[in-house]
Amino acid sequence: MADRSTTTSVGHSIARLEGRDKVTGRTDYIYNLRLPSMLHAKACRSPISHGRIRAIDTGAALAMPGVRHVVTGEDVKAVLPEPYYGPAFHDQPILALDKVRHFGEPVAVVLADDPHIAESAAQIIEVDYQELPGVYDEIEALRGQVIVHEELKPAGTFADLKHLAGRRDTNLALDYHLRHGDTDRAFAQAEHVFDHIFSTQQTMHAAFEPIVALADMRDGRLTIYSSTQSPSFVRFEIARLLGWPESHVRVKTAHLGGGFGAKVYVKAEALAMALSLIARRPVRVALTMEEQFYTITKHANTVRIRSAVDKDGRITGRKCEVWWNGGAYADIGPRVAQKSGFSAAGPYDIENVDIDSFALYTNRPPAGALRGFGIPQLVWAYESHTDIIAGELGIDPLAFRKRNILRNGRPQAVGSIVEDAEFEAVLDDVARRMNWRGPFDKGSGTLLRGRGIAIGFKASISPPPPSPIVSVQADGSCIVHCSTVDMGQGSDTAMAQIAAEVLNIALDSIKIVHPDTDVTPYDMSTLGSRSTFHMGHAVRLAAQDARGKLDAMASAAGLPEGANTPLADLFVKTFGMRAGTIVGAANYMPEYAPPNYETGQTPKVTPFWMIGAAGAEVEVDTQTGQFRITRLVNVCDAGKAINPAVVETQISGAAVMQLGFTMTENMIIEDGQLTNPSLADYKIPGFFDLPDAMENGFIEAEQHNGPFGAKGVGESGTFGVSPAIANAIADAVGVRITRLPITAEAVFRALRAKAGNPLGDA
């Protein structure tokens, strides 16, 4: 089984290692974990979006038979004097203190042996609030009439946030500015100037395994079992809250039932820890689907984008202002404003670019990372805008993009030279698949057809480096210890393929150990499509390290080079028996330079670029605004795929998810209340929401510094979908939708407005 027979693993569509468990229902999700003598926690949540807590009456809940504890923010504060957490700001209390800042914020928790008892008791906790006016819109938040946080408390981890410490009377959690060239001059000399505003709505992840954490605190040691994407960060943050060495906090995870960014950084873990500390028993905090709506979401945003264009149809200048609706707690929102903000001008070669990107606090549920980290919200704006320009100049949308597209060797607006970024090839492939230059049936009568394209890009998140361990056992089998979390993206399989390839051993003799901070070395987090590139690279180096040691063993044993002795025999020759372990280790630190605060410029913003483009064909009923997506093509630059089938599934799954964000998903707040925190009223895509025809693909390319030429692709499939659909609708019926979601009603209203017969307000 473990012989070094020639194996080729990388580049093949190998079925996922965990497939058997998944189809037999045996996968070990943390949501299914029960600990002996554990208590169930259920939260009492705020029914208002902004208010002072005057009093909490826990008496009736505590009197309910079976209730063990009722815990409030003050109780947490009694055991943890500074009970605030967050990756960018220490702004989020474990349970609300003094104030609530969003609908659904946890205010108190009941602990009971029976979850039903905990739930009933949580409903009879009486909280007296003094309601305050709320702010829900990012532009209003900038005006600062309602202040969400009295004082800003940056966490200190990010250099560009430090200057915000102690700032008062502002909702601005980060302002990022990019200055490239002389934009004012470009606009003054422009032949044409375009100016548009676009916006997106608040949506959420709806991972099917809800967020869950179990904490078991005993004898100065804590174990947390969590469906987290960031075990190392959870350990860091929980140890900080406790004032403990990180070695005393153990964070274990398993397969995740989806993540999509919802499970990065701390989510339920701090609460579970505090409750276990108070109750001195293991505690399970398992959110419901409804509670996920109150926990973490995707930023709504508003973008104003202006372009200066010369007489030849070249974009000479762009100014972008982006306002991100971060909700009540910053989570990782300030990083979204900066790391994604710098790309707001799009994948175009523009000499003069100004970008101002603002992260804002509001009284909405917190926003953080969601598949694309802000990029889809930006592509929505710049690719709608770009299409309008092409239309007004009478240039074919594909030709206009190709005239302006970034090419390898040219600097992006952030000041970094673009490498291994196949923008044009991706666009061309979409066009080819759509037969763009061929005839297109535009429909007739009340059923009109149109088509559109769009392209987006993203930088990867770089340091700190992952450091996996690849150990070869005495029988020649192999164990990989790495802290990449497999949440469905297939990373276990990819890492095993890489180790198998380097060690030249059979894939089924490799085991991937799931993240456990006592056992698997540090990794920042599984996010931002970084794992294949970063961890994949590090696993490759660690496997090479092990291989080097095996080769040294072979030569010490006097075996001729290239003898290809079975590994088990090599161990026997070296140690006299089938015993021992050979450990390979490595760090992988790609090149990266942080941006300058004043100009936003950096010579190396990312180790690789992600690129995704989409093409859509639609059919619109002009009498109702109803439209059908008859075809959706999605193409990405995946570098060289480690596992082509898994890559294709990632692209397709990302596109399906983005269809939901484009057509139906929308968190609606009315009078300070979230009206639709349920899959009944917040509609995610099902079988009938798929386009009539759907095609996903990637172009053959090579990422020179990637493991086996690969790069990340988990988010790229989201980029182009929304604007491609809006552009297709504009092509079909000549109306432009500028806000997501694109509903039939929005199209109908636009059609009526165009006909000079607008509908009244709904």
Partner 1 sequence: MTGRRRTIQFTLNGQPVAAEIGVHQNLTELLQDRFGLFGARESCGQGLCGCCTVLVDGQAITGCLRLAVLVDGSDVRTIEGLSDGETLSPEQEAFIESGAFQCGYCTPGFILMTRKLLDENPDPSDDDIKHYLSGNLCRCGAYPEILNAVKLAGRKRAALT
The contact set with partner 1 (CB under 8 A) reads 13, 15-16, 18-27, 29, 31-32, 64-66, 114, 116-117, 119-120, 205-210, 255-258, 260, 288-290, 487-490, 645-646, 649-650, 652-657, 678-680, 684-688, 690, 694, 696
Which partner in partner 1, ligand FES, none is near 206 (CB below 5 to 8 A by kind)?
partner 1
Q: Who contacts 44 (Cβ-Cβ below 8 Å, separation ≥6)?
A: 61, 106, 107, 108, 109, 110, 122, 123, 125, 127
Which partner in ligand FES, partner 1, none is near 605 (CB below 5 to 8 A by kind)?
none
Q: How far is the CB of 650 from ligand FES (least distance, A)?
A: 12
Rg, the chain, Cα only = 27
Which partner in partner 1, ligand FES, none is near 55 (CB below 5 to 8 A by kind)?
none
Q: Which residues pair with 355 in a beta bridge?
A: 178, 320
What DSSP line would sit under 672-712, residue for residue? TEES--STTTSPPP-GGGS-SEEEEEEE----TTSGGGB--
User: What are the tokens at 166?
Assistant: 């102690």
Q: How far is the CB of 256 from ligand FES (least distance, A)?
A: 9
Give the phi and the psi of residue 753 in degrees, each rounded to 5: -65, -40
The size of the interface with ligand FES (CB under 6 A), counted in residues, is 3
Terminal CA-CA length for the chain: 67
Cα–Cα distance for residue pair 217/600, rounded to 1 Å: 44
Residue 65 vs 756, nearer CB to partner 1: 65
Q: 208: closest CA among 493, 516, 487?
A: 487
Q: Which residue has the tokens 């025809």?
A: 693
Q: How far is the CB of 576 from ligand FES (least distance, A)?
A: 48
Residue 258 vs 450, nearer CB to ligand FES: 258
Which partner in ligand FES, partner 1, none is near 487 (CB below 5 to 8 A by kind)?
partner 1
Residue 210 vs 366, nearer CB to ligand FES: 210
Q: Which residues pair with 493 in a beta bridge?
A: none
Cα–Cα distance for residue pair 117/199, rounded to 1 Å: 43
Interface with ligand FES in residues 482-541 (CB under 6 A): 488
Cα–Cα distance for residue pair 710/638, rounded to 1 Å: 6
Q: Is 685 in the site for ligand FES (CB under 6 A)?
A: no
Q: How far is the CB of 722 from ligand FES (least distance, A)?
A: 22
Residue 547 vs 631, nearer CB to partner 1: 631
Q: How far is the CB of 209 from partner 1 (least distance, A)?
A: 5
Q: Is 561 among the residues known to form the active site?
A: no
Which partner in partner 1, ligand FES, none is near 66 (CB below 5 to 8 A by kind)?
partner 1
Which partner in ligand FES, partner 1, none is near 197 (CB below 5 to 8 A by kind)?
none
Cα–Cα distance for residue pair 356/318, rounded to 1 Å: 11
What DSSP line would sit under 115-145, residue for residue? HHHHHHHHHT-EEEEEE-----SHHHHHHTS
Q: Which residue has the tokens 């859509």?
A: 616
Q: Which residue has the tokens 């990312």?
A: 606
Cα–Cα distance for residue pair 515/124, rounded to 1 Å: 39
- Contact call for residues 424 and 405 (beta carbons, < 8 A): yes
Q: Who contacts 86 (Cβ-Cβ below 8 Å, separation ≥6)?
A: 92, 155, 265, 266, 329, 330, 331
Residue 303 vs 647, nearer CB to partner 1: 647
Q: How far is the CB of 658 from ligand FES (least distance, A)?
A: 16
159 burial via Cβ count (<10 Å: 0-12, 13-18, 19+): exposed
Q: Which helix (H) or strand (E) holds 352?
A: strand 352-360
Q: How far is the CB of 488 from ligand FES (least distance, A)?
A: 5
Q: How far is the CB of 686 from partner 1 (least distance, A)?
A: 5
Q: Looking at 134, 258, 450, 672, which residue binds ligand FES (CB under 6 A)? A: 258
Residue 156 vs 686, nearer CB to partner 1: 686
- Contact call for residues 655 and 717 (beta carbons, < 8 A): yes
Which partner in ligand FES, partner 1, none is near 184 (CB below 5 to 8 A by kind)?
none
Annotated catalytic residue, options 105, 290, 715, 745 = 715
3-class secondary structure, 530: coil
Which partner in ligand FES, partner 1, none is near 395 (CB below 5 to 8 A by kind)?
none
Q: 550: closest CA among 580, 527, 517, 520?
A: 580
In the bound complex, which residue of the shown chain has the CB atom lying closest to ligand FES? 208
Residue 115 vs 594, nearer CB to partner 1: 115
- Contact call for residues 478 and 523 (beta carbons, < 8 A): no
Q: Is 208 in the site for ligand FES (CB under 6 A)?
A: yes
Q: How far is the CB of 105 from ligand FES (least distance, A)?
A: 25
Residue 25 vs 243, nearer CB to ligand FES: 25
Q: How far is the CB of 292 from partner 1 (least distance, A)?
A: 10
Which partner in partner 1, ligand FES, none is near 236 (CB below 5 to 8 A by kind)?
none
Q: 424: how many CB neighbours lie within 10 A of its CB?
A: 17
Residue 206 vs 330, nearer CB to partner 1: 206
Interface with ligand FES in residues 130-169 (CB under 6 A): none
Q: Is 677 in the site for ligand FES (CB under 6 A)?
A: no
Which partner in ligand FES, partner 1, none is near 21 (CB below 5 to 8 A by kind)?
partner 1
Residue 93 vs 258, nearer CB to ligand FES: 258
Q: Which helix (H) or strand (E) holds 321?
A: strand 315-325
Q: How far is the CB of 375 from partner 1 (least distance, A)?
A: 18
Residue 14 vs 390, nearer CB to ligand FES: 14
Alpha-helical regions (H) of 405-530: 423-434, 491-503
- Contact call for residues 748 and 759 (beta carbons, < 8 A): yes
User: What are the tokens at 66?
Assistant: 């079976």
Which partner in ligand FES, partner 1, none is near 680 (CB below 5 to 8 A by kind)?
partner 1
Annotated catalytic residues are 715
Interface contacts to ligand FES, rule CB under 6 A: 208, 258, 488
